[in-house]
Amino acid sequence: MKIVIVGAGALGGLVGAQLATGGEDVTFIEINEARTRLLNQTGLFVAEGNKGETCVPVKVVTSVEGLPVADLVFISVKTYQTEPALRACLPVIGPDTFVLSMQNGIGNTEIMAGIVDPHQVLSGITYHSIQHVGPNRIRYRPGIKPIQIAPYDGKITPEILAVGEVFRNSGLNTEVAEQIDDVIWQKLLHNAVVNPVSALTGLTCRELLDDPHLQSFMRDLCLEIIAVMKARGVPIVEEDDPYAPVVNSQKALGKNRPSMWQDLARSYRTEVDAINGAVVREAEKLGLDAPHNRGLVNFIHSRENVSFLRKQEVAATLRAAAQSADENGAQEAPPQRRSAQALRPIRPAPGGGMPHSRVPLETAPRLKKLITGYYRDLQKASDDPARQVAWCSGTGPVEILRAMGLAVYFPENHAALIGASRQSGLYIPRALQEGFSQFANSAMASDIGAMLKGDSPLVSVHHIEGPPPPDVLTYNTNYGSELIRWFEYYGRHFDKPVLGLHPSTSLHEVGDLEIGAATLQMLKMVENLEKQFDRKLDYDKLADVVRQSNKCTRLWGEILALCRQVPSPLTFFDTLIHLAPSIIMRGTPEAVEYYTLLKAEVQDRVANGVAAVPGERFRFYWEGPPIWPALRPLADLFLNHRVAVVGSTYCSIAAMPGIDPKNPIESMAAVYSGIFHNRSDAWKEDTLVNAFNDYGVDGVIYHEGRTTPSQSNVRYGLEVRLGRRTGLKALVLEGDTHDLRLFSMNQVMQKLRDFIEIQELAAGAGQSKANG
Amino acid sequence: MAESKISVGIDVGTECIKVAVINDQGVLLGSSIVARRGYFQDRVSEAFPVALEDAQVGAEDLLGICATGFAENCVPMATTFLGDSACHALGAFHHHKQAMCVIDIGGRDPKAIQVDAGGRPTGIQTLRRCAAGIGTFLIFAARHLDVHPSHLQEMAGRTDESCEVGSYCSMFSGQDILEKLREGVSRESVALGCINSIADRVIEIGRFTDPVFVTGGVAEYFPGVLTAIAKKTGNRVEAIPQPILAGAVGAALWVFQEKSLPLSQQGENS
């Protein structure tokens, strides 16, 4: 049979793939050109449940031009696209062509019967559960009931039976019935009750079940629809408790959210008019009222409009960013000047460097441009006698520094680059000659050692001469007191003032006393800065910077929260890379712009079910700092075992909520005193338990950094206590952030592999993979 | 070709390579143990045919070969792989069909592995230290004491008086041995001290729940370590039969398990 499938989405993809595998002549029509190219190139990957994937070669075109008349046209686009899609197919619809719709909701076949001869229209219903897990991948579970096809005009002909036969021969369990109105309504009941509620609240079906208020509303909504169905004469499933089957579908969907949520999240129109809208229309016809359904239709349309506007805003931002990037690119040539301070490059050692994502983000190249721009500006500030540079700790008071017009540089970011290059071994020994112990903070030792040897990764990565010398150094001990020695060393080296903030530590609550003390410290710091630079802090400017900082940290928190999605759109190895602007560019509008774009792309991934780890099987949380020189082998190990590290303490630091432009200093004092590392063990434990739940993790990795006691929370029995509280499997890794000599990387990899293998075996994996 | 009923497990450890040949009844048909010197792959190529010959089977008779251990990637003839903790769990469970705590004390990296009543590993604990030479340390201590490693246990058994040998680090403990010898302490006491030091180290892994079964070469050649552990912890500590082969046997068993082929002794939850 010549079959044309309109819309290569989840449903069309599955049906088309099965028919093609069954030997039928199948052509897909898809308007998305990128998806068309991809599918033609790679084929469509189809997996049933957890069984392996099969790759089905498919033929996809963007228009029907040149195609012969089809025997069957299968419409699988969104209901609001039915009419244009069908009209576009008229050239391939002959008098004997059947047009079949298995779309959601009600109204599709009516639309179709208004365009072609009603005798050619077939309606269909499927109970398959199909998910898009990538632009060319679908996973499905076959329905408990067979696919049903019925003629629009109620007359079964031998030709229609033949269509059923073709489906069956292709492995699609199919029956032909005289009418399927009843089953369509019965299916619609579930969609109409669950979809809009999940879409509006953002809750998964499991979460909906846990909410008694929503369950009460959904029961009422259900009964309203049942009344309409009864009036129409549709047999009711489980008449005594018609909501019970809907509860079961929520249980079955579990952690998932229905397609209507995905549509809203993606800023697409939903199919609410064909679902709840159909109920409202039917009720009217029957002289009944359906206020709940009508209300929901209005709510959903309202949210569709908001999302649409935001999408336009994002598109405008993208255009503006592209324009300004072009302008910058045209003007910026790498600085040619060689001064006595020019340093040598640090290039990654074998095995070093940042890990490559297996599912690369489109936004990623922008990050490189953004950060290079930031460092180039630092170089300019360094060369410009009218500008000054401040060195600041990652969770230090950058907002104040920016508001004072200082360019800000972060030694910790520099140290992370050295660590990732896997070259710390060249620099730490040099630092030890200065009198540091082998077990002093290795990030500090790497950074100081590199400075003393005259090398910097900024030369090779961002093409500037090196770190800009400071006019002042500021830090906050909220991240640990190791920073003090780091900054004071440089203060002595450059003979420049070092201003520190030392908030009260191990706080369970951040109370007035602590905020008061921290505020006074900040004001004192402001006073010192004003004296040094002979100008006053402009509090309006500070409010602006704080406003940007607030947006930046909020966006970053939202991006991290998107990783609660199963499968996760990002992993720890992605967030480690994209964390940088929230540290080094916090308080700038550029960071906000960047995270707006990144968030949109990640949301899109979420809506399309794109996984950062294809085939995600386990989800872990990483507590403790990263092992910078081993990111690549670690990322590969997790990818190969289909483990997604979905949450981390390290990357969550920068999601500090609460900085308030209306009350800059005090809110900064509160927020900076309240970061994770400055809290009590009990607070940390509670926060981690919540994080484990929120991210739905299967296991926890605790990294104990040899030289980072203040970041290695596991040192004092945390893993045992959290294990008792949560029952989650955990692994403690002894490592370090920078110094490979202090631990055995082989042992780390072996332990991780063992840990993952236990879970694979428990989950019933028949096969194991070799090391590496 | 008829479905083969014989499999091989190869456990490539740091001190020696162990090969076990078993049938689908779980019976050990043959084995070989070769000390590891130089390249792992060369020793694997030596050990493999010796085991086959011991079992009187040919390579073509095998259903599969599972590699495990530190250098499992040096087994070119492997058809599948499994981590060594899981292999030791399987190997111990093969002899004792019950939930248990398995302690693997081999050349290095001692581990406690919790095994459930179905033979599946549910948790692994290791030492929070550097790679921790265990058997390796005893071999190197034997050198200091001028005795063949296989006689170290006997030497330790000749005295009741142990001396203090640290368990923080093999290098530090080696220093302790030299200091004791310099002071004129008897070699027997030092030997016993080393045995106790290993036991101390293993105990640092954590609390063990009875029954405790021990696998690995140390249980085979230095059984005094097990006695010391039992004494210090109060646990019932027992070596499985042929403990050094546990990993290889477990690996061989995995070949069947992976293909979901029943082993007549397997799969009974007790």
Which tens digit of pLDDT belongs to each residue from A524-560?
Answer: 999 999 999 999 999 999 999 999 999 999 999 999 9
Question: Chain B within 8 Å of A439 (Cβ-Cβ)?
Answer: no
Q: Which amino acid is at B233?
A: T
Question: Chain A within 8 Å of B45 (Cβ-Cβ)?
Answer: no
Question: Chain A within 8 Å of B76 (Cβ-Cβ)?
Answer: no
Angle of helix A745-762 relative to helix B84-95, nearest 10 degrees, comes to 50
Q: Cα–Cα–Cα angle for A420, A599, A571, nearest 5°?
A: 40
pLDDT at res. B41? 94
Q: Which of A529, A526, A521 is nearest to A504 (CA)?
A: A521
A-B C-beta contacts closer than 8 Å = 59
Structure tokens, A162: 């033949």
Question: Chain A within 8 Å of B186 (Cβ-Cβ)?
Answer: no
pLDDT at res. A419? 96
- Please name the member of A704, A757, A771 whose beta carbon is closest to the beta carbon of B72: A771
State the CB neighbour count (10 A cutoff) for residue B178. 12
Distances A631 to A338, A636, A695, A745, B100 between C-alpha atoms, Å: 33, 8, 22, 11, 36
CA distance A752 to chain B (A): 11
What is the distance between the alpha carbons of residues A557 and A561, in angstroms, rounded to a whole number?
Answer: 6
Distances A450 to A215, A371, A473 between C-alpha atoms, Å: 61, 21, 18
Question: Chain A within 8 Å of B123 (Cβ-Cβ)?
Answer: yes
Question: Chain B within 8 Å of A509 (Cβ-Cβ)?
Answer: no
Q: Which amino acid is at A766?
A: G
Q: Are strands A129-134 and A137-141 parallel, antiparallel or unpaired?
A: antiparallel
pLDDT at res. A340? 45
Mean pLDDT of all residues belonging to chain B: 90
Which of A341-355, A457-471, A661-675 has the lowest average pLDDT? A341-355
| Residue A735 near residue A442, CB atoms below 8 Å | no
Q: Which of B124, B169, B261 to mutate to test the interface with A (most CBs of A within 10 A)?
A: B124
pLDDT at res. A692? 97
Identify the closest residue of chain A to B130 by CA–CA distance.
A743
pLDDT at res. A593? 93
What is the distance between the alpha carbons of residues A256 and A664, in angstroms, rounded to a whole number?
Answer: 40
Per-residue pLDDT of chain B (270 residues; tens, 9 = 90+): 456 799 999 999 989 999 999 999 999 999 999 999 999 999 999 999 999 999 999 999 999 999 999 999 999 999 999 999 999 999 999 999 999 999 999 988 899 999 999 888 999 998 876 656 789 999 999 999 999 999 999 999 999 999 988 877 888 888 889 999 999 999 999 999 999 999 998 998 888 999 999 999 999 999 999 999 999 999 999 999 999 999 999 999 999 998 876 554 433 333
pLDDT at res. B60? 92
What is the distance between the alpha carbons of residues A199 and A201, in angstroms, rounded to a whole number?
Answer: 6
Q: Which of A589, A700, A582, A725 is nearest to A645 (CA)?
A: A700
DSSP string, A661-725: TTSHHHHHHHHHHTSGGGB-HHHHHHHHHHHHHHHT-SEEEEEEETT-TTT-GGGGSHHHHHHHH
**In terms of residues, how long is chain A?**
772
Q: Could you identify the residue written with the tokens 């036969």?
A: A165
As a whole number of Å, the end-to-end CA separation of chain A is 48
What is the distance between the alpha carbons of residues A621 and B122, in angstroms, rounded to a whole number?
Answer: 19
Plot region of A728 (φ>0 → left; ψ -120 to 50 → alpha; else → beta) = beta
* A772 with B82: Cβ contact below 8 A: no
| Residue B233 near residue B2, CB atoms below 8 Å | no
| Residue A86 near residue A17, CB atoms below 8 Å | no
Mean pLDDT of all residues belonging to chain A: 89
DSSP class of A115 = T
| Residue A26 near residue A61, CB atoms below 8 Å | no
What is the distance between the alpha carbons of residues A382 and A342, in angstroms, rounded to a whole number?
Answer: 12
What is the distance between the alpha carbons of residues B145 and B152, in angstroms, rounded to a whole number?
Answer: 9
Residues in A touching B70 (Cβ below 8 Å): 750
pLDDT at res. A561? 97
3-state secondary structure of B135: helix
Residues 6+ apart with CB under 8 A from A189: A222, A225, A226, A229, A242, A246
| Residue A290 near residue A224, CB atoms below 8 Å | yes
What is the distance between the alpha carbons of residues A79 and B112, in angstroms, rounded to a whole number?
Answer: 59
How far is residue B137 CA from its own chain's centroid? 14
Q: Which amino acid is at A544?
A: D
Q: Could you identify the residue written with the tokens 């909520």?
A: A657
Q: What are the DSSP E strand ranges found in A145-241?
A: 147-151, 174-176
Q: Are strands A70-75 and A44-48 parallel, antiparallel or unpaired?
A: unpaired
> Residues of chain A with pLDDT > 90: what percent?
69
pLDDT at res. A360? 76
- Please name the member of A747, A754, A770 whose beta carbon is closest to the beta carbon of B72: A770
| Residue A739 near residue A509, CB atoms below 8 Å | no
Residues in B touching A746 (Cβ below 8 Å): 131
Give all strands of the β-sheet with A44-48 in edge-to-edge order. A53-56, A44-48, A137-141, A129-134
pLDDT tens digits for B92-101?
999 999 999 9
What is the distance between the alpha carbons of residues B127 and A734, in angstroms, rounded to a whole number?
Answer: 10
Return the bridge partners of A130, or none.
A140
Question: Chain A within 8 Å of B116 (Cβ-Cβ)?
Answer: no
pLDDT at res. A766? 45
pLDDT at res. A767? 43
DSSP string, B42-91: HHHHHHHHHHHHHHT--GGGEEEEEEESTTGGG-TT-SEE--HHHHHHHH
Residues in B touching A747 (Cβ below 8 Å): 109, 131
Q: Is the pLDDT of residue A316 over 90?
A: no
Q: Which of A712, A716, A758, A759 to mutate to test the interface with B (most CBs of B within 10 A)?
A: A758
Tell me the average pLDDT across A423-447: 93
Q: For residue A139, what pLDDT band results from cuts at 50, 70 and 90? A: confident
Distances B46 to B20, B29, B33, B75 between C-alpha atoms, Å: 14, 18, 10, 11
pLDDT tens digits for B128-138?
766 567 899 99
CA distance B261 to chain A (A): 11
What is the distance between the alpha carbons of residues A767 and A9, in angstroms, rounded to a whole number?
Answer: 32
Distances A9 to A5, A49, A274, B123, B193 between C-alpha atoms, Å: 10, 18, 18, 42, 71
Residues in A touching B258 (Cβ below 8 Å): 766-768
Give all strands of the β-sheet with A472-476 in edge-to-edge order. A407-409, A389-392, A472-476, A498-501
Residues 6+ apart with CB under 8 A from A19: A1, A3, A5, A26, A166, A167, A170, A172
Q: Cα–Cα–Cα angle for A339, A340, A344, nearest 5°?
A: 90
Q: Is the pLDDT of residue A689 over 80?
A: yes
pLDDT at res. A343? 84
Question: Chain A within 8 Å of B117 (Cβ-Cβ)?
Answer: no
Tell me the average pLDDT across A78-92: 89
- Please name the member of A732, A762, A768 whose beta carbon is closest to the beta carbon of B81: A768
Distances A373 to A370, A388, A463 between C-alpha atoms, Å: 5, 17, 10
Q: Which of B14, B130, B169, B207 to mutate to test the interface with A (most CBs of A within 10 A)?
A: B130
- Sign of dihedral through CA atoms A177, A180, A186, A188? positive
State the CB neighbour count (10 A cutoff) for residue A40. 16
> Residues of chain A with pLDDT > 70: what percent?
93
Interface predicted TM-score of the whole assembly (ipTM), two decimals? 0.78
Distances A398 to A394, A476, A650, A668, B255 between C-alpha atoms, Å: 8, 10, 19, 10, 59
Q: Could you identify the residue written with the tokens 């044309």?
A: A4
Structure tokens, A3: 């079959």
**In terms of residues, how long is chain B?**
270
Question: Chain A within 8 Å of B109 (Cβ-Cβ)?
Answer: yes
| Residue A491 near residue A498, CB atoms below 8 Å | yes
Residues 6+ apart with CB under 8 A from B267: B118
* A770 with B73: Cβ contact below 8 A: yes
Q: Which of A105, A123, A150 is nearest to A281 (CA)?
A: A105
